[in-house]
A and B are shown apart, each in its own frame.
Chain A
Amino acid sequence: MSNPVKDNEGIFIRRRLEAVAGLMAVGFIMLSIRAVDLHWLQAEELRSAADKQRYRQFETVAPRGPILDANGRTLAESIEVPSIAAIAREVPEDRVSELAKALEIDSKRLKAKLDRNQGFIWLARQVTPAQAAKVMALNIEGVRQETEWRRYHPLGPEIGHLLGFVGIDGNGLEGVELSFDDRLAGKSGVRQVRRDARGHSLPGGIWLKEPEIGKTLQLSLDSSIQSIAYAALADGVRKQNAKGGSVIVMRPKDGAIVAMANWPGFNPNSFSDYKPGQWRNRVITDVFEPGSTLKPFTMAAALETGKWKPESKVFCENGKYQVADHTIHDDHEEGWLNMTGLIARSSNIGVAKVALDIGPEQLYNTLADVGFERKSGIGLSGESPGIIPPIGRWGPVETANIAFGQGIAVTPLQLATAFCVLANEGQYMAPKLMLNAEKQSPKRVIAAKDARAIVAMLEAATGPEGTGGKAVPAGYRIAGKTGTAQKPSRDGSYADDRFTAVFAGMAPANNPELVVVVVIDEPQESIYGGQVAAPVFRNIVATALPYLGISPTETTTPDWGVVKASIIDEGIASRQSLMRLSLREARRIASLRGFMLRTHGSGWVIRQKPQSLTSVEAGDEVEVWLGE
């Protein structure tokens, strides 16, 4: 039955089937091996290669937070600016000179820079958009534009010392920028997105690290008052041909720092043009001998004992007084003075005798209570705690000297804080720089009635009998104290020709809104605080008080409606006396020369104070009596 041909054919077909099946099996085994290889052996490598294609990671740079003043005015802000970078090995050699020209740098130096490096280098950082556009327009291989954040301080030198500055890589290097770097600095984040074959991002990216935008820092500072203070200080330093100066303005009610300036200023936008010594915020870092401005605190210590009263009298030894082996001198010889007289006439001997009576501990405690000898805690780095000798070393000479501000060193900030205690009826408020700082509860360190008594004495010190008359702007009552101190020389003794002139005071005296401390370093024209620092104080409060809407309490001649004479009569304008002039003529001179006129009576000028107008400056007050 069987057909051999058919049988052969059957065998052939089966062999073919077997061969194909075998080949398929081999193929399958090879595929399996490859599958194992790809899925297990090479899995990691391949997965990461695939992820690289599919996912992209961006670093997002979080900008630095702005700094604002109390009214929301921008004091510091970061903006994106272009920078020019290059991959050094890709830049063609024949285009280097062209590139150097666009970058405005030396062609040889650029060539050397490109030769030294292979990879990424910065060619010019933080350039103007116009310059970046010019460079990019050349379209040179390997050169590219990056964006960086640059910090700007629009108020420039007026506030440079306080704000400090930021380095090119965005780190705070000085001042507020350094001390509050943690809060201001943004933390960059990393975001991962999936992308398609054409490189476009697909939705649903995830943050591998969330970026944190730098926080806004709002200071208690008022940039208008800052500007007023800086201008007045600059004017005072220039007039005195002095080495420099510092000024601080505080609001006693809450301890807020309203202005803080140094002269010479420095511009934080170009900080590298200045020496590091010029970056220092001397209001907080530098100490000086407060001189007579410390006397009110000796008086406060005495009143606190209860033994001394404002009307207590002291004999001032007619200008010379021996303490142990040391003789104390007064500038003016004085006999018997009450406590107010001691402050107003600024008698070293009287104050020293008071201090010796109450003893070193009482004085030390009062000084410590009002904030001397410790850092104020406003959070700025580099703050000095001042210098007070350890209480164990206070012999009679030291006690007497410290009573009138010698042998002790304080910062302008400390002195202002201490005057705030007096202005605040004896309550200590720690100074603060942040607008939204936690509300602090005031700490009583001097009895209210004693503090009020001291303020009354300080008001007398700016009165006709006092040394601080030049601190008083027309229309306001001022309480303050002048001070003059010799500067220590390198060998530890006092220099004969180098002084610090100080004025510390509050305005208005009846309800202090501002405490201002002015320190002028090494004035040349005069050395006295009353001549040098007091006018700066007056110029600050005369502008700042009206700006704050505080109306004057003292009536002066209403001078609105005074029109400046269009033809300036040289003869009249340069007169040194108003005697025998009519009220109208006297007013005209006052208006031409910018001083305030206080008049009594009517008719012709028969008496004037001061007698000569030579030393009268704009803003001073001249009193005239008129009669028929």
Chain B
Amino acid sequence: MNAKLSIALPVAGIAILATGQVWLSHIRYETSIEISTVQKESAAIKGEMNTLNLELASLTRPERLRKIAQTKLGMAAPRPMQVVRP
């Protein structure tokens, strides 16, 4: 009885550990795929941010704003007496 147990226990232990190892490497694998997807996504978002920044900068170009303010909105630079320093 004792002899049988002394064999069965380590075998079971090894089996559990081996299963655990396989499971762990599976998790690692899945996670790594997830990480690389997220990294790609983050790079794409950063790229999009750059593009949008650029678009913002070119849409708010002072020269363009001036033209729109003057022609579309009928605005003009403030006259001297219209300026007050807070």
B62 and A201 within 8 A (CB): no
Judging by beta carbons under 8 Å apart, are A543 and B80 in contact? no
B19 interface residue (CB < 8 Å to A): no
Whether A552 lies near B29 (C-beta < 8 A) is no
Contact of A560 among B35, B81, B86 (CB under 8 A): B81
Which residues of chain A from 519 to 574 have any CB-CB distance to chain B below 8 Å in the complex? 542-543, 545-546, 549-552, 554-560
- Docked-complex contact A79 and B54, CB < 8 angstroms: yes
A202 within 8 A of B: yes
Complex: chain A residue closest to B44, CB-CB: A80
| Number of chain A residues whose Cβ lies closer than 8 Å to a Cβ of chain B | 46
Please name the residue on chain B nearest to A553 by beta carbon: B80
A79, A152, A474: the one contacting B80 at CB < 8 Å is: A474
- Assess whether B77 is in contact with A543, with CB atoms less than 8 Å apart: yes
Known A203-B35, A550-B85; judge A74-B57 contact (CB<8 A): yes
Looking at the assembled complex, report how far the CB atom of B17 sits from the nearest CB atom of chain A, in whole angstroms: 21
Whether A476 lies near B57 (C-beta < 8 A) is no
**A398: Cβ under 8 A from any B Cβ:** no
Known: A77-B50, A202-B28. 7 other contacts (CB 8 A): A155-B57, A201-B33, A201-B36, A546-B77, A552-B83, A556-B80, A560-B79
- Distance A66 CA – B51 CA, assembled complex (angstroms): 12
Q: Is the CB of B85 within 8 A of A79?
A: no
Assess the B79–A559 pair: CB atoms within 8 A: yes
Asked if A154 lies at the interface with its beta carbon under 8 angstroms from chain B, I say yes
Closest to B82 in A: A560
A residues with CB within 8 A of B: 63, 66, 73-75, 77-80, 152, 154-156, 158, 196, 200-203, 223-224, 226-228, 230-231, 473-476, 542-543, 545-546, 549-552, 554-560, 596
Q: What secondary structure prevails in chain B residues at the interface with A?
A: helix
- The reply to whether A223 and B62 contact each other, CB–CB distance below 8 Å, is yes
Show 14 A/B contacts (Cβ-Cβ < 8 Å), sorted by A. A66-B53, A79-B50, A155-B62, A200-B33, A223-B62, A227-B61, A545-B83, A546-B82, A549-B83, A549-B86, A550-B83, A551-B83, A552-B80, A559-B79
Question: Which residues of A lie under 8 Å from residue B51 when comparing CB positions?
Answer: 79
Q: B58 is contacted by which of A154, A202, A556 (Cβ under 8 Å)?
A: A154
A residues less than 8 Å from B29 (CB atoms) = 196, 200, 202-203
7 closest pairs, A vs B, by CB? A475-B80, A227-B62, A154-B58, A74-B57, A552-B80, A154-B57, A203-B32
The reply to whether B66 and A74 contact each other, CB–CB distance below 8 Å, is no
B62 touches A78 (CB 8 A): no
Distance of A11 Cα from B61 Cα, bound (Å): 105
Number of interface residues of B (CB under 8 A): 30
Task: Tell me whether B21 is interfacial, beta carbon within 8 Å.
Answer: no
Residues of chain A lying within 8 A (CB to CB) of residue B85:
549-551
Q: Which residues between 30 and 86 of chain B lie within 8 Å of chain A, taking CB atoms?
A: 31-33, 35-36, 47, 50-51, 53-54, 56-58, 60-63, 66, 77-86
How far apart sit A156 and B62, CA to CA, in the bound complex (Å)? Answer: 11
For A476, list chain B residues within 8 Å (CB).
80
- What is the CB-to-nearest-CB distance from B79 to chain A, in angstroms, rounded to a whole number? 6
Given the contacts A200-B32, A224-B62, A556 and B81 also touching, CB distance less than 8 Å: yes
Residues of chain B touching chain A, judged by Cβ–Cβ distance below 8 Å, are 28-29, 31-33, 35-36, 47, 50-51, 53-54, 56-58, 60-63, 66, 77-86
Question: Judging by beta carbons under 8 Å apart, are A475 and B35 in contact?
Answer: no
Residues of chain A with a CB closer than 8 A to B33's CB: 200-201
A126 to chain B, nearest CB (A): 14
**B62:A154 contact, CB within 8 angstroms:** no
Are B80 and A77 neighbours in the complex by a CB distance under 8 Å? no
- Contact for A558 among B53, B78, B81, CB less than 8 A: B81
Assuming the contacts A78-B50, A80-B47, A154-B54, asked whether A475 and B62 have C-beta atoms less than 8 A apart, the reply is no
- CB <8 Å contact, B54 and A231: no
Query: Chain A's nearest CB lies how many Å from the CB of B53?
Result: 5
A227 lies within 8 A of B54 (CB): no
Chain A residue with the shortest CB-CB distance to B58 = A154
Report A-chain residues with C-beta under 8 Å of the C-beta of B83.
545-546, 549-552
| Chain B CB within 10 A, most for which of A73, A156, A158, A545 | A73
Query: Are B61's CB and A552's CB within 8 A?
Result: no
Taking the closest CB of chain A, its distance from the CB of B66, in whole angstroms, is 7
- Assembled-state Cα–Cα distance A542/B80 (Å): 8
Give CA–CA (A280, B47) in the complex, Å.
32
Q: How far apart sit A200 and B36, CA to CA, in the bound complex (Å)?
A: 10
CA distance A555 to B82 in the complex (A): 11
- A152-B79 contact, Cβ under 8 Å, with A73-B60, A223-B62: no
- Structural contact, A201 and B58, CB atoms closer than 8 A: no
| Min CB gap B46→A, angstroms | 9
**Which residues from chain A contact B63 at a C-beta distance below 8 Å?**
155, 158, 227, 230-231
